[in-house]
Amino acid sequence: MTRHIFKLVWNRKRSTGLILVEILICFLVLCGILSAGLSLGQRWQKPLGFDYENVWSVDISGMDWQAEGEELAANQQSILQMLREVRNLPEVEATAASTNTPFSGSSWLNSTWINGVEEAVQWTMITPDLPDVLKLELLYGRWIDDTDPALEYRPVVINQRFARAVFGLDDAVGQDMPVYDDQGQVTTPEEDAIANRIVGVMDDYRRHGVTREDPYVMFVAVDLGKDGDLPTELLVRVRPGTTAAVEESLVRTMQQINPHWSYKTTLIEDVRRNAITIYVTPLLITAVIAVFLITMVGLGLVGVLWLNVTRRTSELGLRRALGASTVSVRGQILGELWALTGIAVITGTVIFLQLPLFGANFGLSWPVFLGGAAMSAALVYGFVTFCGLYPTWLATRILPATALQYE
């Protein structure tokens, strides 16, 4: 029976070609949308690695990045004094300076080589109190503390994925980060170079949340008494139940210390909400457009099937005259439709899976591509079956005597 159905489909390839193209378009559109949705769902379920609730971000602008000498020392002193004074506010639990703050649009990146490929690393400069502000937790080792500037090396904390990529299953704590040349080969560091020694390993720090993955993260202590590169963002954790009135207290306190700078305060929860909205809105718009497209395809599919049934009145009537039951007629029409769907799904799957093979994976993994294709195939089969119900019912209503009108 299956061979007979595929033979009928082949013999009517001109009349069924339009149906095949419509199903193929539906399948490809669903593959893209469902894969993106599946990837978003997976990222949404992953832990962030930090707590953003009740945390304010204060962005400092007006600081001269090229400051030297007395001006640099004055900037360092201003940052230190701000951290002390803000921490003493009654509404504040903890405060720290940092780069690469949660959900911010800017990134401070460095690079390293992993398995012969140059990869970007979030080079995050912090003051020691950042774990108290963001509730960061170590897997093993220790955090950066105030005594570290006296060490002969630079203590750093990295995430577990970074540690596994560089050191495999070996314990990363106590080891120095390897130094690479321009070709990605491990080389000997210069004599005056400061080694980046790992003192702790934490879980993932997914600062972009669901919008982007951050596989490699390194936390580096900033020495406000020496470093010329200063973080220009303060993170402040306030006590639960604190109102937005604390914003005025924060800005007033910092303006008293350095009135020449400007300060923009934002609640991290609002930044996260805006980032998610910006990321999800295009997906929702695309999904709405796709729904309209698939609806139009469904209406066209019903019309084409209806026309095909009408044109085959003599054939179907003759089958009924020869004793075919309504179940048999219905099975033939739906079988032909499912055969067409199978051809479209196989063709669409081959086309869709070419994307990761040629590197156009859009940040999606192979399981996401395969899962999106499988879910799309199931939905397409359900969709075409639903569209074929009414034309199939019309086919079962054809009486044997009707075939005589076409003789």
- For the chain, what percent of residues have pLDDT higher than 90? 12
Task: Look at residue 180 in the predicted model and tell me its pLDDT.
Answer: 82
Amino acid identity, residue 229? D
Residues 133 and 180 in one domain: yes
**Band of the pLDDT at 106, cuts 50, 70, 90?**
confident
Q: Given CA atoms 79, 80, 85, 90 in this order, what sign does their dihedral have?
A: positive
pLDDT in tens, 116-174: 888 888 888 888 899 999 999 889 899 988 777 777 888 899 999 999 988 888 888 98
Of 230, 260, 290, which closes a domain? 260
Q: For all residues of the chain together, what is the average pLDDT?
A: 80
The model's pTM? 0.74
In a domain, 268, yes or no: no
Answer whether 206's CB lies under 8 Å from 101's CB: no
Nearest to 202 by CA among 256, 156, 243, 154: 156
Domain count, the chain: 2
What dihedral do alpha carbons 34, 37, 38, 42 form, nearest 10°? 180
pLDDT in tens, 271-312: 888 888 888 888 888 888 888 877 887 777 777 666 666 666
Quickly count: other Cβ atoms within 10 Å of residue 200's Cβ: 21
Of 260, 294, 327, which closes a domain? 260
Residues 281 and 242 in one domain: no
Q: What would the two tokens of residue 110 be?
A: 């460095």
Residues 317 and 211 in one domain: no
Residues 216 and 303 in one domain: no
In a domain, 265, yes or no: no
- pLDDT tops 70 at residue 10: no
Domain region containing 104? 63-260
SS3 319: helix
